[in-house]
Amino acid sequence: MPPFLLSLLLLFTISVPFSSCIAVGEVITCSGIVPMKYRNDKISIADFGGVGDGKTLNTKAFREAIYRIQHLRRRGGSLLYIPPGVYLTESFNLTSHMTLYLARGAVIKATQDTWNWPLIAPLPSYGRGRERAGGRYMSFIHGDGLRDVIITGENGTIDGQGDVWWDMWRQRTLLFTRPNLVEFVNSSGIIISNVIFRNSPFWNIHPVYSSNVVIRYVTILAPLDSPNTDGIDPDSSSNVCIEDSYISTGDDLVAVKSGWDEYGIAYGRPSSGITIRRITGSSPFAGIAIGSETSGGVKNVLVENINLYNTGVGIHIKTNIGRGGFITNITVTDVHMENVRKGIRIAGDVGDHPDESFNPNALPVVNGITFKSIWGEKVQQPGSIQGLKNSPFTGICLSNINLHGEPGPRSSPWKCSDVSGSSLQVSPWPCSELTSPYQTGSCSGNF
């Protein structure tokens, strides 16, 4: 039996509700929310004329192979095997009940012919392309309205060859919003694991309006100066499990989103039930972020066991006037950061607007945010928590936090405004607005 088939037989296959966590060899994981499936039907891209020489355009082979999976509808779905080699292709759509399996040494590489790149409609919760008015370029690997899709393998690579898109952004010659590397829209039962993602034109992995998504054992890489190359952005999605991954990109490593200003408010779909666990990486922007597009609301997020280095902001919760929505029941615990410009930031003045039609009276509600067991070294500024005058941030709970600067003169103090909450065992000592736990009960259950 070929090694890739044997490895599939051994993959973990149990499923549990999202609210449950399972321990495998004493490692807690949420990945059981989506069962890993073995596909009896297997085909290779070579069967459809795929050539892995790095020069031949394989768009026809990918589209024909996926068409075959879609229309033959084998019981239990089908596996599309990508053997070692470099397979140049234009963008393509996946289909339900399929596994895209990249062998070790397999590379699916995006063409840099931007003129023929397909356009799709803007997301309704954004109202327009995120960068440019109008539509947006389709993601390199795309799925819309799908069920039961797996992208996995033996750490093969999906390479977006994004430098041509980054140059267009820098030169201000973009006609529409750049394509994501992988995007699932209105989909469920998605697994992305054991794959390397490189050089995305824009965001790397973007599940939007989706549920029951597992992203695990991935590596995501892009140059530190590559614009807007967020690692993983769950967006108006629920029951998302992000674990055991390394990310080094030019923007936020993980950013939870839910729509943009009046469009996100009207669409009204929150992100909820999201676990972000055992992530390591570096970024000139945020390690773990929520926002700034949070107009549909973000709730019930657990962030734990995070290691960050050479990062702009360790943990960044960001929103703005006109966003509306809510950010609530967020827990961040067991974080280590080193050589970070700012440890923790919660801000109500971050992010741009899609147009001039946003409502300045649509103020976000931020409350129930817990940070605990956070350690930082070489942290230039420990943190800032700055709410909005007409919508103060409440229930901000800090405990067992040590954010140390460079040896020598005392580092910059915390900065706070329009905020209330509590703190316990925090060094350097935070703002007076965050009183001791004995003076308020808002955080008594979090210490």
User: Any idea which residues carry the catalytic annotation?
Assistant: 251
List Cα–Cα distances, 19 to 37, 40, 238, 342, in angstroms. Answer: 21, 31, 12, 32
Q: What is the CA radius of gyration of the chain?
A: 22
Reading phi first (left if > 0) and then psi (alpha if -120 to 50, else beta), residue 116 is in alpha
- Cα separation, 63 vs 432, in Å, equals 60
List Cα–Cα distances, 349 to 19, 26, 171, 287, 321, in angstroms. Answer: 33, 41, 27, 19, 7
Q: Exposure pattern of 214-237 as b/e (b: 16+ CB <10 Å)? A: bbbbbbbbbeeebbbbbbbbbbbb
- Cα separation, 91 vs 74, in Å, equals 24
SS3 call for 296:
coil
SS3 call for 47:
helix
List Cα–Cα distances, 182 to 93, 195, 419, in angstroms. Answer: 10, 12, 38
SS3 call for 191:
strand
Q: Exposure pattern of 59-69 as b/e (b: 16+ CB <10 Å)? A: eebbbebbebb
- Cα separation, 319 vs 417, in Å, equals 15
Reading phi first (left if > 0) and then psi (alpha if -120 to 50, else beta), residue 127 is in left
Q: Residue 190 has which token pair?
A: 């998605």
Q: Is 106:77 a contact under the CB 8 Å cutoff?
A: no
Nearest alpha carbon to residue 89 among 73, 70, 110: 110
What phi and psi, each to the nearest 5 degrees, are found at residue 266?
Answer: -65, -40
- Cα separation, 384 vs 364, in Å, equals 18
Q: What is the DSSP string of 68-98?
A: HHHHH--TT-EEEEE-SEEEEE--EE--SSE
